[in-house]
């Protein structure tokens, strides 16, 4: 039933493109990110790929193919360097420049293409006029996660990573490059503090961690970054691109931390970890792109996005994570895959994806089947008693029955609720099944726009593949 509706994750269930940097070029939006694999055991195992969509149809994504391979960097002959989060800008010559940092080396590499979707060819390394590479000169801090903005003949390059306890990394940096897109014409300046230097700056509690990105909106420069809380993308604004940024708030949290409209503000609604993304104006509206974690690990991340809203002062409200990208409620009829759940939790409250194997034993996870050339269906695995999958939002009209597709060594019921802590409006009995099995029950869903929550009550572990909303009794 998804069709051309915008849903999260916005790419197919088998695709894993985190760290998304959206850019509108012409009449299409292109997303550049790193490339995880299903079942991956480290970050960013794949070559760069690109997906794009028409600016007026954000549910119609097209695969543009591999745009840059990790063996193209001359420094990566042994392939030990993975391609970490990139960004792309259009240079003053009209060509497109891709900036990235290898996982094994703290310098910025650059590739170039005549078209937004590539393919890109290696160009060189960001360097000082004397040829020394940025990040290698004495006093330089290691480069990481480049974000870029070009205005005229100047390109502003934002980089950095700052963890707890590291006094040697001060914060996010801005370096200005000349028209050749490689040469430093203004040395790095710090624009947002790391956690060890955030005291008294206004960034306390939301200090810079990684994922610097930059956009310009209404004459202000918006610096977007992942904070020391990992799961949230924050923003600071300035009238100048290379300094003067003031912290303003959170754009999105991967677990809806901070959203207090439908739940307690500090209650996590999804198993989260790091975050990376940015905002972009697409058509008449602004959106924030981010990623979620799947398969019970940190290494199989999928891209999502939400529509942004703004206050009277022009600053952004924190976006709520949804299954419908915050654009338009999904049609309240037909079949939907369970992997588009935006909420996933149990009665045991956990915020971060655990690093050990106990995640598989106690908590549900979004995963996929291994078949069809690695493109098997996505589903929710290991739903034990109290496990809840939430979907937002649906425009329900005349819904009379709900069918769930499940399997596994489980016996009990799947309760259907309109709120995460609400009363059940229907209950579907489920039992042991070795293959996917459909079960139907009547529900009492009033007409209107609703969230839908599916909670397993019973014994064993349930696998949940899909549900269907039916309008005939």
Query: What residues are labeled active site?
Result: 19, 210
Residue appearing with tokens 């209950």: 427
3-state secondary structure of 2: coil
CB distance 22 to 304 below 8 Å: no
Rg of the Cα atoms in the chain: 23
CB distance 468 to 391 below 8 Å: no
Pick from 327, 238, 222: nearest CA to 283: 327
Distance from C-alpha of 243 to C-alpha of 338, rounded to nearest angstrom: 44
CB environment 307-334: b (16+ within 10 A), e (fewer): bbeeeeeeebebbbbbbbbbbebbbbbe
Distance from C-alpha of 19 to C-alpha of 366, rounded to nearest angstrom: 19
3-state secondary structure of 314: coil
CB distance 286 to 279 below 8 Å: yes
Pick from 270, 438, 441, 290: nearest CA to 365: 270
Residue appearing with tokens 């009794």: 473
CB distance 223 to 238 below 8 Å: yes
Distance from C-alpha of 367 to C-alpha of 465, rounded to nearest angstrom: 10
Strand partners, 160: none
DSSP β-ladder status, 330-332 and 388-396: parallel
CB distance 121 to 72 below 8 Å: yes
Strand partners, 410: 460
- What does the CA dihedral 270, 360, 466, 8 come to, rounded to 10 degrees? 30
Residue appearing with tokens 């992942």: 226
CB distance 355 to 399 below 8 Å: no
CB distance 353 to 298 below 8 Å: yes
Please say whether the dihedral angle defined by the alpha carbons of residues 246, 247, 249 and 255, taken in this order, is positive or negative: positive
| E strands present in 55-120 | 62-68, 87-90, 96-100, 109-113
Cα–Cα distances (Å) from 308 to 95, 100, 148, 287, 326, in that order, read 30, 27, 22, 5, 8
């Amino acid at each position: 039933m998804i069709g051309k509706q915008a849903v999260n994750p916005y790419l197919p269930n088998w695709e894993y493109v985190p760290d998304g940097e959206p850019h509108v070029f012409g009449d299409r939006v292109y997303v550049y990110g790193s490339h995880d694999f299903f079942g991956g055991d480290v970050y960013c195992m794949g070559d760069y790929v690109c997906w794009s969509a028409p600016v007026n149809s954000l549910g119609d994504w097209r695969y543009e193919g591999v745009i840059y391979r990790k063996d193209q960097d001359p420094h990566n002959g042994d392939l030990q360097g993975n391609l970490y989060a990139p960004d792309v800008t259009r240079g003053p010559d009209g060509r497109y420049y891709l900036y990235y940092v290898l996982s094994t080396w703290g310098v910025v590499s650059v590739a170039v293409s005549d078209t937004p979707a590539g393919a890109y060819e290696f160009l060189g390394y960001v360097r000082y006029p004397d040829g020394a590479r940025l990040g290698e000169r004495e006093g330089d801090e290691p480069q990481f996660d480049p974000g870029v903005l070009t205005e005229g003949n100047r390109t502003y390059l934002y980089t950095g990573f700052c963890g707890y306890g590291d006094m040697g990394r001060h914060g996010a940096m801005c370096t200005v490059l000349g028209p050749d897109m490689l040469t430093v014409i203004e040395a790095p300046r710090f624009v947002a503090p790391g956690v060890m230097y955030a005291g008294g700056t206004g960034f306390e509690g939301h200090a810079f961690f990684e994922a610097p990105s930059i956009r310009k909106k209404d004459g202000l420069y918006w610096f977007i970054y992942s904070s020391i809380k990992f799961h949230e993308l924050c923003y600071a604004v300035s009238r100048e691109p290379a300094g003067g940024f003031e912290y303003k708030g959170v754009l999105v949290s991967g677990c809806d931390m901070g959203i207090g409209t439908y739940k307690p503000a500090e209650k996590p609604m999804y198993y989260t970890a790091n975050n990376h993304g940015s905002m972009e104006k697409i058509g008449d509206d602004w959106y924030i792109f981010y990623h979620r974690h799947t398969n019970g690990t940190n290494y199989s991340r999928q891209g999502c996005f939400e529509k942004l809203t703004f206050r009277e002062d022009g600053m952004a409200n924190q976006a709520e994570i949804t299954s419908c990208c915050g654009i338009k409620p999904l049609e309240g009829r037909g079949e939907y895959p369970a992997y588009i759940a935006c909420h996933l939790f149990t009665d045991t409250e956990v915020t971060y994806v655990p690093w050990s194997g106990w995640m598989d034993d106690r908590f549900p996870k979004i995963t996929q089947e291994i078949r069809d050339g690695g493109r098997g269906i996505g589903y929710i695995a290991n739903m034990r008693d109290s496990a809840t999958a939430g979907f937002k939002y649906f425009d329900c009209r005349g819904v009379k029955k709900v069918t769930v597709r499940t399997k596994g060594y489980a016996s009990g019921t799947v309760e259907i609720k309109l709120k995460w802590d609400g009363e059940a409006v229907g209950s579907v009995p489920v039992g042991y099944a070795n293959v996917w099995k459909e079960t139907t029950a009547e529900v009492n869903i009033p007409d209107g726009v609703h969230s839908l929550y599916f909670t397993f009550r019973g014994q064993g572990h349930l696998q949940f593949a899909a549900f269907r909303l039916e309008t005939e009794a």
